[in-house]
Chain A
Amino acid sequence: MYKYDQYDQAMVDARVAEFRDQVRRRIEGRITEDQFKPLRLQNGLYLQLHAYMLRVAVPYSTLSSAQMHALADIADKYDRGYGHFTTRQNIQYNWIKLEDTPDILADLAKVEMHAIQTSGNCIRNISSDHYAGATADELIDPRPYAELLRQWSSFHPEFLALPRKFKICVIASEADRAAMKLHDIGIRIVKNDSGEIGAAFYVGGGMGRTPMIAPCINPFVPLDQLVTYCEACLRVYNRYGRRDNKYKARIKILVHELGAAEYTRQVEEEFAHLQTQDIEPPLAELERISTYFAPPAFETGLSEEIDRSDPDFALWVDTNTVPHKAPGYVSAVISLKPVGGIPGDASAEQMHLIADLTKQYSFDECRVTHTQNIVLPHVKKADLHALWTALEAAGLGAANLDRVGDIIACPGLDYCSLANARSIPVAQKISERLSPRSAELGELKVKISGCINACGHHHAGHIGVLGVDKKGVENYQLLLGGSEADDTSLGKITGPGFDEAGIVDAVEKATEVYLAQRTDGERFLDTYRRIGINPFKEALYG
């Protein structure tokens, strides 16, 4: 894992001091709320319906046990004993006091963490593949590139008042587990025909009210030009992104309105200029960072055997572990989706336990997934039963990865001031209703957003639910056929919306159509793609 040096630590400490002073001036009335708002947002602090919410960055999804323990302590000390892991691979606390935030940031800085640019119209926390460094299908570990960009984007003086928020994702495998093409910039680390490593740039993707899949604007940017190329993409956006309408201000609209070819031309022109400006760190810096991500000392000669005599354990192994590049190891997924629970929530005790297990079984490293679960990336098969037993005892043993119970839901109207409808109770009801049929339904990704801003990624769900406001009453639209994987697609709305009870019935009906129509081995998404939306419409409205 990356370790701060004196410089990184000094920058984060300076940020804490700066924000402490800004909070003091706000409380003393020396700055107005309008002036303070962008400052607090760029330190992760939102004003929600009932309290402040603090969003803490988990860069490229990686945490150590010490960091997880610190997150648990913050939940205990400053919140109501809970943290909420989000679809942006971050953690949020929903009950925070403004005057506590400088101390929380100081606590975070002690474990090399921060809330820098987790909100606001700036470059946000960089996300990555939660199986990075563990999966056999990656070209190389993508996280050193993400760390390079984390440093470049932190406090970037030119890009602190962009037209809108800006999200960057870096992956390094063909399989896309991070919804890379739904980011403002998606980067895939690739190898060209001469065997050199570089970066393919996808620019202008996003969800929200106008979901778009990012086009590839450059299939190969050499590694020693990565930062410069990002800077060119951002400068064109900062200068020409729309500022007249908040809903048209994301870079996807600029790329769409200019056309990908014209946007690319402008970026290339800016890039040619910026290459003369000495803004690219030397490759030695990338090498320095990469040494922190060297693979852990995997044991060799391990057995591949798993004792499957306990059927509950066997089920968990089948659903919640994924293959690892090292023989005798797997990546194990800790589900934060108990049946009927709040997706992504973890109590302080659970976080402490996860931290201990991280240290004991996974080389002191865990990951936050954008599906709101936790991964222990490097677990010996021989340790799985002990791990599962500890998880079960803490209510963390749900065997439902990518199953109907593994629902993504945004905070919705229970917390969020932008919401049209509640997301959490709908998730809980769908989970309760359909979890008993989890095995039969197989892979099925349900995603719920409480408004069109799409924090719950409803466009990318095999089944998506979107909360809307219908004359002051909460109403839910159903979408089918989205995917955020390699075969990225956007879901389609089936028709008129439903009330809260109705949407749960509607989701169940959609699964019944699937069960009736599927052929051998088809997932819900495959059946939908084969038969189209009409059979579902008939069942729902016919």
Chain B
Amino acid sequence: MADLLRFRDDEPVDHPAVTVDAYLEQSNAAAVRIEPGDDARALIPHLDGLRLVEINFPAFTDGRGYSAARILREAGYTGEMRAVGDVLVDQLSAMRRCGFDAFEPDKPFDEEEAKAALATWPQVYQTAADGRAPIWKLRHG
């Protein structure tokens, strides 16, 4: 996991993630992996004990994983949310906003580029899953 970019202080889960179907059958696993076609909401009744959610991006152009991440954050999930697969540096800022706090890209990021990407937006227009106050809130207190 040398190429893991992580914004958390807790220890990473050290066993592999299981599929959503497998997790729903044997919910003693602490790590699950969501594929683009999976319904993230199916996990909501079973969030206790879950410490790692991997969301797979087989192709960076498929944006379903952004909704999956936000849905789980909105449901109160506070464990690690890791984007894996075809994850590119130019998506980092949006992914952070959607609640991802760890990244395991197929091709490792350049450290400087990743830093720059994460600092893209001085402010934000929308409420999302990163707790940043949207511009309308700054305007109206």
Which residues of chain A from 151 to 206 have any CB-CB distance to chain B below 8 Å in the complex?
A: 151-152, 154-162
A-side contacts of B61, CB under 8 Å:
38, 121, 161
Q: With A7-B135, A161-B60 in contact, do A282 and B67 touch (Cβ < 8 Å)?
A: no
The stretch of A77-85, A257-265, A273-281 that contacts the partner chain? A273-281
B-side contacts of A238, CB under 8 Å:
63-64, 66-67
Distance of B118 from chain A, by nearest CB (Å): 12
Interface code B110-127, partner A: CB below 8 Å = 1, 0 otherwise? 100100100011111111
What's the Cα separation between A274 and B95 when bound, in Å? 19
Q: CB of A530 within 8 A of chain B?
A: no
Q: CB of A11 within 8 A of chain B?
A: yes
Q: CB of A290 within 8 A of chain B?
A: no
Task: Please state if B136 and A281 are interface contacts (CB–CB under 8 Å).
Answer: yes
Of the candidates A121, A152, A157, A162, the one whose C-beta lies within 8 Å of that of B94 is A157
A-side contacts of B94, CB under 8 Å:
155, 157-158, 160
The stretch of A14-22, A59-67, A468-476 that contacts the partner chain? A14-22
Nearest-neighbor residue (CB-CB) of A234 within chain B: B67
Task: Please state if A11 and B125 are interface contacts (CB–CB under 8 Å).
Answer: yes
Q: CB of A284 within 8 A of chain B?
A: yes
Q: With A38-B61, A39-B90 in contact, do A278 and B66 touch (Cβ < 8 Å)?
A: no
What's the Cα separation between A36 and B114 when bound, in Å? 16
Of the candidates B74, B126, B127, the one whose C-beta lies within 8 Å of that of A273 is B74
Task: Please state if A14 and B90 are interface contacts (CB–CB under 8 Å).
Answer: no
Interface residue tally for chain B (C-beta within 8 Å): 36
Task: Please state if B126 and A284 are interface contacts (CB–CB under 8 Å).
Answer: no
What's the Cα separation between A517 and B121 when bound, in Å? 62
Task: Please state if B120 and A288 are interface contacts (CB–CB under 8 Å).
Answer: no
Distance of B38 from chain A, by nearest CB (Å): 10
Interface code A13-49, partner B: CB below 8 Å = 1, 0 otherwise? 0100010011001000011000100110000000000
Of the candidates A38, A158, A285, the one whose C-beta lies within 8 Å of that of B139 is A285
Q: CB of A256 within 8 A of chain B?
A: no
A-side contacts of B121, CB under 8 Å:
11, 14, 155
Of the candidates B60, B93, B128, the one whose C-beta lies within 8 Å of that of A35 is B60
What's the Cα separation between A10 and B94 when bound, in Å? 17
A-side contacts of B64, CB under 8 Å:
238-239, 243
Task: Please state if B120 and A152 are interface contacts (CB–CB under 8 Å).
Answer: no
Q: CB of B8 within 8 A of chain A?
A: no
Distance of A291 from chain B, by nearest CB (Å): 13
Task: Please state if A277 and B122 are interface contacts (CB–CB under 8 Å).
Answer: no
9 smallest beta-carbon distances between A and B, as pairs: A161-B63, A157-B97, A281-B136, A157-B94, A279-B127, A7-B135, A285-B136, A158-B66, A10-B122
14 example contacts (A-B, Cβ-Cβ < 8 A) are as follows A7-B138, A11-B123, A14-B122, A35-B88, A38-B61, A152-B126, A155-B124, A155-B125, A157-B94, A161-B60, A235-B67, A239-B64, A243-B62, A243-B64
